[in-house]
Structure 1
Amino acid sequence: MKRETLSEILAVGETTNIEFKRCGQQPEKDTFETVCSFANTFGGSIFLGVEDDGVVSGLKPSALLPIKRNVVNVVNNPKLFDSPVAFEFEQIDFDDKVVLRLWIPPSPNMHRFKGEIYERLEDSDVIVRSASRLAEICIRKQGLYTEQRVYKYVDLADLKLDMLDGVRERAARKQPDHEWARLGNEQLLRSAGLLGKDFSTGDEGLNLAAVLLLGKDEVIRSVCPPYKTDAVWRIDPDSRYDDRIVVRCNLIEAYDLLADFCRKHMPDRFFLDGAESISLRDVIVREVIANCLIHREFTSPYPARMLIDSVALQTENASKAMFAGPITPTGFSPLPKNPIISSFFSAIGLAEELGSGTRNLFKYSPRYSGSDPELVEGTVFTARVPIYRPSRRGADASGAAPSPGIASEIAKLVSERGSLTVAEAVEAGYPRRTVQRAMSKLVEEGAVVPMGNTRSRRYVPAR
């Protein structure tokens, strides 16, 4: 490692895979806790001879060999480590001081130090005590796709088979000659990888992917109790929420519900992409929701969350990650978390090929809001996409009555267009609550007349 590279690492500080240790004549106990946690998580580098704040104190040249011998002896001592951890040394000259880098790759084995299992969370080494966290580590290390788990007592009656007609239509819209249009229900399920045989156990039947994609609500709750997505819209950061839905239905229905929720509370912005005008909001919503639904670890008890506020659309969900850190368009290698579910979503046009979601978010987010998204991989995957804020005329989230000027502007819009919905007024740049209060005021004054039910109500000029 070059001096310049170490300087950059020192400037960033300790992270999920970087640790600084001062180190005297021999490493302290916490050095080996970090060795254990790196091996159990995503791997990392321990820099011996560096203070916690990134200042290089260096190691005495005479201490280098004893330190190396100590590390080798401790890591290979069966009374201390179960089982031994792989590692490499690298000596780095930094100005007139020496730093020793101890690199630990991620291990396929589970390691204990003095009887405790450690994992790396942010910049801390944490003892794993809960059975759920231990199970997540085991799943990640085994490289298993839990979506392939077969449930031999789940049968076709436990699925919403009436949804398959809609699935065929969506697949045909994306690819007119798609084979699913010609297949019966059971054949389609086999073609999609939802019905088959687990060759490790010999069990045959529907798998977890089938239950999550098409299952009835009660079947999903029984097979996968932790599964849900909690979506919140919040205007005031000090309030719990202004609107909320908790989604526990199958993934296809969940996608539609969450997309509608986002469209309801996020302003739109259109962009000319070549000769085609596209909704930037819809593109972003599609990618964020698809990622949250199909690239998660469904067996984890960590709840998936979606938050929309005045600043950003944010999601977080459990992930079976192979690394930890920020994701960039050029600095990531897309890995399938649930290849069966991903392929199904792709076939019906709700997702594209692996990695396209990240590229689309970095392509369209600056055009939507002027800022890049923030995507961070780890045991919990987080996504944050800034929200476009049009020029708000009379923006008011306090609950106060709209000013006469705002009510007059909205009345003018109703008159010019012949009719107006609340959603159309929001797209014109007015806050939803302001529009709702203004419409109520105009109805009371007899200036406009409501037509239709609450869901599709339009306001027309009074005659």
Structure 2
Amino acid sequence: MEREVFEAILRQGESTTVEFKRCGTNPGPDALETICSFANRNGGSLFLGVTDNGEVTGVPSANLLEIQRNLINCTYNPNLFNMPPSLEFESIEYDDRSVLRVWVPPTQGVFRFKGRVYDRVADADVVLKTDSQISSLYLRKYTVFTEQHIFPHLRMEDLELPLIEECRKRAVLRRPGHPWGQMDDFELLRSAQLYMRDIETGAEGFNRAAALLLGKPEAVLAACPAYKTDAVFRKDDPDRYDDRATVRDNLIIAYDRLREFCAKHLPDPFYLEGDVRISVRDIVVREVVSNTLIHREFTSPFPAKLVIDDAGLRTENASRAIFEGRLTLADFNPMPKNPIIANFFTQIGYAEELGSGLRNLEKYSKPFLGADPALREGDVFVTQIPREIELVPGSHPAESMKETTRLAILALLEERGSLSASEAAGEARVTAKTAAKYLKGLVAEGLAEPDGNARTRRYYRTGMMR
């Protein structure tokens, strides 16, 4: 978390989604009450090492890992929680003090801590005692989302089982010690709430989220007959397309296919964050694609669209809108459309917490295509990344990307004086073979001079060779 974002949270103070707590070697029971209440409301961030008035006191750095283990063990203890809420951790260094942020994503299910149901009201954790209060909570949690619809005859063999192992590896790579690493496939699916029991009807089995995330094509089609994403690239004629992909795969496969489509047709400008080159295209595309796949109403017949043309990058998908109008970072109050799917994407690193995507779009859209993003909520949710940076006239975006890479390597050579192909590859995010090709091109242009054999060759700025 960036310092200015953290300081803004400290100034704003505790709220429905923010709680501060002091913490020594281990968090107290009140931290677990907050986790329960966040899980029963819209999720939230618990900051350990901060007083109620926003003063950063910190937690012992040596105890950060032990605190995380303690919280995970407590949430997976059936004597404390009826089912484990998902947790994400982030260590924040602030003025030589460590703060541990515990993010509880919004999710399905009603959670109990020591047999009590906690809800988040303003900045307080409130115990729900009456039947009417608890019934209202069940109503709020279970009637809004269609991803939790159970298909009793959906079986393990209807899922892409190798994908489960891939997702387990991604979760463990993202967070060493992730509980999924010790679970078998069925335990993992149950933990991710892809297998559940409807307490109203008694139905038990895999739900629509399971079919959408991991299903084989026939399972995806059976669970959501209208589901698809049309990806279109238009170069000249607005009434036709130059490339098109109709994506009906499960969401894990669809995520990769749509990102590849965008990488094929969008430029990747040279951009340094500090002294490190990052791909603003990859960041923006990641947020746009994950948002399109996660936050849509899958039972709607409206097909999702991803369009790349002279106007920029645009996505459209059906939504269950709480309000209509343009979203801005100042007034954005994130509400989950499909919390089970969103949480699964978060666990494997395909998405982050609600609201972080908009912050990334606000930060990186302008260096990507030259303009700020525009997001509009309604029955159809629209994300527009306008293009104000012109491509080379008459060129295909891939040609512009080649020129961008050439300029990036040239800029590195100007900055450092000399480069090897492997050094250029790491900075320009291309293969060593590709980097060598561009460096040889600079030699042909008289902008660089080679030195050494094929294994040790370095390229120097013209006139700088030792």
Q: TM-score range by the shorter chain?
A: 0.5 to 0.7
Two-structure CA RMSD over aligned residues (Å):
3.1
Matched-pair contact (CA < 8 Å) for 1:212–1:220: yes
Q: Give a deviation string over 1:292-319, Cα, whole Å, max 9, x none.
A: 0000000000110110012310000000
Structure 2 counterpart of 1:305: 305
Matched-pair contact (CA < 8 Å) for 1:324–1:378: yes
Q: Give a deviation string over 1:351-370, Cα, whole Å, max 9, x none.
A: 00011111110111122222
Structure 2 counterpart of 1:203: 203
Are 1:317 and 2:327 counterparts? no
Whole-Å Cα distance in 2 between the matches of residues 255 and 318 of structure 1?
Answer: 17
1:355 aligned partner, one-letter code:
G
Shift of 1:390: 5.9
Structure 2 counterpart of 1:295: 295
1:141–1:234 distance in 2 versus 1, CA, 3 Å: farther
Structure 2 counterpart of 1:260: 260
Whole-Å Cα distance in 2 between the matches of residues 254 and 347 of structure 1?
Answer: 17
Q: How does 1:82-121 map to 2 (within 5 A)?
A: none
Matched-pair contact (CA < 8 Å) for 2:312–2:369: no
Provide structure 1 residue ranges, at least 5 long, that are not aligned to the other structure: 1-138, 420-426, 429-463
Shift of 1:172: 1.6
Shift of 1:270: 3.4
Give secondary structure in 1 for the equivalent of 2:353.
Answer: coil
Whole-Å Cα distance in 2 between the matches of residues 301 and 391 of structure 1?
Answer: 36
How many correspondences in the alignment? 270
Shift of 1:177: 1.4
Structure 2 counterpart of 1:283: 283
Query: Which piece of structure 1 moves more, 370-379 or 236-245?
Result: 236-245
Whole-Å Cα distance in 1 between the matches of residues 144 and 304 of structure 2?
Answer: 21
Shift of 1:142: 8.7
Whole-Å Cα distance in 2 between the matches of residues 164 and 304 of structure 1?
Answer: 25
Whole-Å Cα distance in 1 between the matches of residues 276 and 321 of structure 2?
Answer: 36
Shift of 1:375: 0.3
Matched-pair contact (CA < 8 Å) for 2:152–2:206: yes
Whole-Å Cα distance in 2 between the matches of residues 350 and 276 of structure 1?
Answer: 22
Q: How does 1:31-180 map to 2 (within 5 A)?
A: 143-180=143-180
Give secondary structure in 2 for the equivalent of 1:146.
Answer: coil
Whole-Å Cα distance in 2 between the matches of residues 140 and 179 of structure 1?
Answer: 28
Shift of 1:238: 3.2
Whole-Å Cα distance in 2 between the matches of residues 199 and 271 of structure 1?
Answer: 51
Matched-pair contact (CA < 8 Å) for 1:267–1:388: no
Give secondary structure in 2 for the equivalent of 1:326.
Answer: strand
Matched-pair contact (CA < 8 Å) for 1:158–1:215: yes
Whole-Å Cα distance in 2 between the matches of residues 376 and 237 of structure 1?
Answer: 26
1:158–1:334 distance in 2 versus 1, CA, 3 Å: same
Whole-Å Cα distance in 2 between the matches of residues 370 and 202 of structure 1?
Answer: 53
Q: Give a deviation string over 1:313-364, Cα, whole Å, max 9, x none.
A: 0000000111100000111100000000000000000100011111110111
Q: Give a deviation string over 1:179-203, Cα, whole Å, max 9, x none.
A: 1111100000011110110112110
Give secondary structure in 2 for the equivalent of 1:165.
Answer: helix
2:186 aligned partner, one-letter code:
E
1:141–1:380 distance in 2 versus 1, CA, 3 Å: farther
Shift of 1:170: 1.1
2:328 aligned partner, one-letter code:
T
Whole-Å Cα distance in 2 between the matches of residues 158 and 279 of structure 1?
Answer: 37
2:269 aligned partner, one-letter code:
R
Whole-Å Cα distance in 2 between the matches of residues 312 and 223 of structure 1?
Answer: 33
2:270 aligned partner, one-letter code:
F
Structure number, greater radius of gyration: 1
2:394 aligned partner, one-letter code:
A
Are 1:228 and 2:228 counterparts? yes
Shift of 1:174: 1.2
Whole-Å Cα distance in 1 between the matches of residues 152 and 208 of structure 2?
Answer: 11
Structure 2 counterpart of 1:395: 394
Give secondary structure in 1 for the equivalent of 2:315.
Answer: strand
TM-score (norm 1): 0.54
Are 1:250 and 2:259 counterparts? no
Are 1:379 and 2:379 counterparts? yes
Matched-pair contact (CA < 8 Å) for 1:152–1:204: yes
Whole-Å Cα distance in 1 between the matches of residues 317 and 233 of structure 2?
Answer: 17
Structure 2 counterpart of 1:333: 333
Provide structure 2 residue ranges, at least 5 long, that are not aligned to the other structure: 1-138, 411-418, 422-428, 431-466
1:185 aligned partner, one-letter code:
D
TM-score (norm 2): 0.54
1:395 aligned partner, one-letter code:
G
Give secondary structure in 2 for the equivalent of 1:147.
Answer: coil
Structure 1 counterpart of 2:361: 361
Shift of 1:272: 2.3
Shift of 1:273: 2.4
Matched-pair contact (CA < 8 Å) for 2:169–2:181: yes
1:170–1:332 distance in 2 versus 1, CA, 3 Å: same
Whole-Å Cα distance in 2 between the matches of residues 357 and 329 of structure 1?
Answer: 10
Structure 2 counterpart of 1:241: 241
Whole-Å Cα distance in 1 between the matches of residues 343 and 214 of structure 2?
Answer: 14
Shift of 1:287: 0.2
Whole-Å Cα distance in 2 between the matches of residues 140 and 241 of structure 1?
Answer: 43
Give secondary structure in 1 for the equivalent of 2:299.
Answer: coil
Matched-pair contact (CA < 8 Å) for 1:267–1:389: no
Structure 1 counterpart of 2:194: 194
Give secondary structure in 2 for the equivalent of 1:340.
Answer: helix
1:172–1:308 distance in 2 versus 1, CA, 3 Å: same
Matched-pair contact (CA < 8 Å) for 2:370–2:389: no
1:204–1:143 distance in 2 versus 1, CA, 3 Å: closer
Whole-Å Cα distance in 1 between the matches of residues 315 and 140 of structure 2?
Answer: 21
2:300 aligned partner, one-letter code:
S
Matched-pair contact (CA < 8 Å) for 1:255–1:293: yes
